[in-house]
Structure 1
């Protein structure tokens, strides 16, 4: 005759299932990378918090801070997405071989329609690490051999957004317009002082 399980053992078992298996099951079902998480930060607070962290990277790589801030704001929905909040991936960067990663669903605009696919995204230790990885990939020619030089030389945000869109950084059909709108809405060019084009 078997002894009934104690209530403490049942609670421990339930706890282990929730803590260990639930995240795996959620990942298997494919949680959206763009899923919004609650935050008390406003768009402006997000930008003001991130701007000083991006300034040294902007200067080191010669890319206008206004453009970086707009890309990060757009890519992370001002720090509200699951991918940004939990994994510090503010730009939706794909995982490269050997990088820590998470598989999540994402929406891509392909052949004139939106489609949902699973994709492996890179996991970063910090927001700055994500932006640095992006700038390194940009510099290495990941989105084309001339894009980095074009972005570093061109100080006009109305021209740099379309360059990123044309290079395929984002599949969104109006990506450049969104970047321009974010830069203008939040007056992000004020962060560009001291960043000279090359």
Structure 2
């Protein structure tokens, strides 16, 4: 799988969780890249190396200034989307990560993750920042707000003219009421009322 394919698999859930929890999508995606080696090393679909009890794995931890290989338990997920969601829930519900939530700067958010102890690697924040910048992940932090469709008054008036012609060509009282109601709704949708 290409790097871009890996990224685009994570974008929808990372952005949804950004809306819900305030965790920058760029930071979530960068952590998945760093922790899983672009998805190549994600046993149990665990993209973030989240500890748990479902499976034992060999991992490296920095302890007393030395990298030590240990065996530890890790969580298991049905798919990558579940892994991203659990990562967001972990950050959102653990008070030590509160400074990461709603942080609008990826550099600060990355440093807060490191400061909160997400990983033992003293270069963790710098690695995240390099990944974000190198893959231009901040492009996924900009989410267009969903807005209702605003019909132009010209389009509304054209449709109203068609409705008026239909209204005049029928003698059915119920149809006339419905045509009138639809014309009023079009006026509202186009900001004319």
Contact 2:11–2:140, Cα closer than 8 Å, also in 1 = yes
Q: Give the number of the structure whose alpha-carbon radius of gyration is greater.
A: 2
1:40-75 CA deviation, whole Å, 9 max, x = no partner? x12222112221232212211111101101011111
1:82-121 CA deviation, whole Å, 9 max, x = no partner? xx1x41100000116xxxx110110111111110000010
Contact 1:62–1:195, Cα closer than 8 Å, also in 2 = no
Scaled by the length of structure 2, the TM-score of the pair is 0.70
Q: Which runs of 4+ in 1 moved over 4 A?
A: none
> What is the CA distance between 1:146 and its match in structure 2?
4.9
Gaps of 5+ in 2: 146-193
Q: How far apart, in 1, do the equivalents of 2:104 and 2:144 lie?
A: 9
Residue in 1 aligned with 2:32?
Answer: 72
Scaled by the length of structure 1, the TM-score of the pair is 0.69
Q: Give RMSD over aligned pairs.
A: 1.7
Residue in 2 aligned with 1:48?
Answer: 8
Higher RCO, 1 vs 2 (CA within 8 Å, ≥6 residues apart): 1
- Does 2:187 correspond to 1:187? no
Contact 1:59–1:195, Cα closer than 8 Å, also in 2 = no
How has the CA–CA distance of structure 1 residues 195 and 132 changed in structure 2, closer, same or farther, with 3 Å as cutoff? farther
Q: How far apart, in 1, do the equivalents of 2:136 and 2:11 lie?
A: 12
Residue in 2 aligned with 1:95?
Answer: 52
